[in-house]
Amino acid sequence: MSFLDRIRTCHRWRPERYRPFVIDGTRYGWIDAEFAARLARFPDVFATEERAVHLRPELDSFDARSAAVADAMARLRYDGALPYWRGELYPVTNRWDAPPVMALERGAVPLFGVRAYGLHLNGLVRTDDGIAVWVGKRAASRKVAPGRWDQMVAGGQPIGLSVRDNMIKECAEEAGVPAALAATAIPAGLLAYVCEQPDGLRDDIAFLYDLWLPPDFVPTNTDGEVARFERWSLDKAVAAVRDSESFKFNCALVMIDLFVRHGALTPEDDDYQAIVEGLQGRV
């Protein structure tokens, strides 16, 4: 096992299994044959063709699209076809700074293969022995990746909330970080990846933050999503990510990026160039 295995996992999908999901002439997602067949039940909303699924052009505004699709999704949920239903709306947009063309139930996002935005925050501590990192074990009750290791704080981007405001909110909910401390988190870039997961096709943009914590800070989960937190040396984290699949797939990617940005990997290490290029999406 290796860092490259972890990276490849995040960039593995079979384009030939998907057809474009098109709104007003622009592709916003990728839909497989099974989900296309389900959408064909709603001919007033979707024009399902062999080579593409189009949102009906009569749905020509954010509100009209969002309402018509929400109605279809509610019916699919009733039929048990949306097992990852979240009751949370995501924006549909290919660029975070562009106005979304519609809103979409979060649990349907990977079925449409629509780009999803989220944030991952590394909880870091400077110690006499170097950098330490707080990691959280995902609760056994979670539908996605139960029991896997995760960043101290991570969360999806719902519609209508800035990344920074969402970061501060998630810091409070997931790890009990006071807002004044969370506000000192440093944006550190983003990772982009596309891969097939049990809930569908994940086309994700993960915004990254580093939060430097006081040595005596101990995270406390308040929303039940984290079973427990542990504080690890960077060396321990390097070994865990490299030698096991104990981290959630995309959280491993965020860890490897952390290792690269803070010098836990160096140009003298095997595969350094391939690892960094892999993080950059060139696998």
| Distance in Å, CB of 118 to its own copies, minimum | 11
Give whichever of 139 and 195 is closer to its own copies, judged by the CB atom. Answer: 195
**CA 118 from chain center: how many Å?**
5
| Distance in Å, CB of 133 to its own copies, minimum | 15
**Dihedral over alpha carbons 74, 75, 79, 81 (to 10 degrees):** -60
Distance CA 190, CA 120 (A): 9
> What single-letter DSSP state applies at residue 139?
P
Q: Are 13 and 201 spatial neighbours (Cβ–Cβ below 8 Å)?
A: yes
Distance CA 194, CA 10 (A): 6
Distance CA 176, CA 170 (A): 9
Give the sign of the dihedral formed by CA 164, CA 168, CA 169, CA 174.
positive
Give whichever of 21 and 193 is closer to its own copies, judged by the CB atom. Answer: 193
| Distance in Å, CB of 277 to its own copies, minimum | 6
| Distance in Å, CB of 270 to its own copies, minimum | 6
Give whichever of 64 and 188 is closer to its own copies, judged by the CB atom. Answer: 188
Give whichever of 244 and 280 is closer to its own copies, judged by the CB atom. Answer: 280
Give whichever of 14 and 282 is closer to its own copies, judged by the CB atom. Answer: 282
Give whichever of 16 and 97 is closer to its own copies, judged by the CB atom. Answer: 97
| Distance in Å, CB of 105 to its own copies, minimum | 23
Q: Which residues bind its own copies (CB under 8 A)?
A: 95-97, 162-164, 186-190, 192, 205, 207, 260-263, 265-268, 270-274, 276-277, 279-282
| Distance in Å, CB of 230 to its own copies, minimum | 24
CB atoms within 10 A of CB 215: 10
Distance CA 167, CA 182 (A): 8
Residue indicated by tokens 């010098």: 263
CB atoms within 10 A of CB 40: 13
Q: Are 11 and 246 spatial neighbours (Cβ–Cβ below 8 Å)?
A: no
Say if strands 18-23 and 53-55 run parallel, antiparallel, or are unpaired: parallel
| Distance in Å, CB of 206 to its own copies, minimum | 11
Give whichever of 98 and 140 is closer to its own copies, judged by the CB atom. Answer: 98
